[in-house]
Amino acid sequence: MTRGGAIVAAVVLGLLGGVAGFLLYNVTQDTGAGVPTGEPGPVGAAEQLLGQPRPAFELTDVDGARRSAGEWDGRVVVLNFWATWCPPCRREIPAFIDLQEQYGAQGLQIVGVAIDQQDLVQPYIESMGVNYPVLVGELDAMDVSRDYGNRYGQLPYTVFIDRQGVIRAVERGEVQRERAQALIEPLL
């Protein structure tokens, strides 16, 4: 293949990946319409978890170490499911960095769960200066997201957990800093 052909192939693959990401993002914005009666929609699945203990899980962090949810017991945990290809996810990260810096000493622990490829996540979080643990997985991370009430894989998806490990709030879609702060402060 010529250099020009390789460039065209790379551009086409990049465009196809972008279209796939866009379609996946739009499909996951489902509000639950059309969900069969008796089955909780995306809202119902998450709502059923409010006031319940957080599910246990293990995932690998960006450095390849296995990490478990129990590692942050006794802290207020903000569990944020995201991906590098998701624009609203990327917009949230600076606010989470600021919140971790502001409230970390008071017991806040933000934990990112990237539903993405390791080789894409590592350079991205380094470039952003992420100051909290980021776990990475593709299918495994999607399973964890589902365990936390995200039935249709919507991103971003954020779960607020109190010091006793009880789920107190779930936010679907992009969370503004003020909203996250309002959910965090009463739990500290």
Give CB contacts under 8 A, 24+ apart, made by 102-107: 103/76, 103/184, 103/188, 104/131, 106/188, 107/74, 107/75, 107/76, 107/163, 107/188
Given a cut of 60, is residue 46 above it in pLDDT?
A: yes
pLDDT in tens, 80-131: 999 999 999 999 999 999 999 999 999 999 999 999 999 999 999 999 999 9
pTM of the model: 0.78
When pLDDT is cut at 50, 70 and 90, the band that residue 47 belongs to is: confident
Asked if 46 and 172 touch (Cβ cutoff 8 Å), the reply is yes
Q: What are the chain's domains?
A: 43-187 (3.40.30.10)
Query: How many residues make up the chain in this entry?
Result: 188
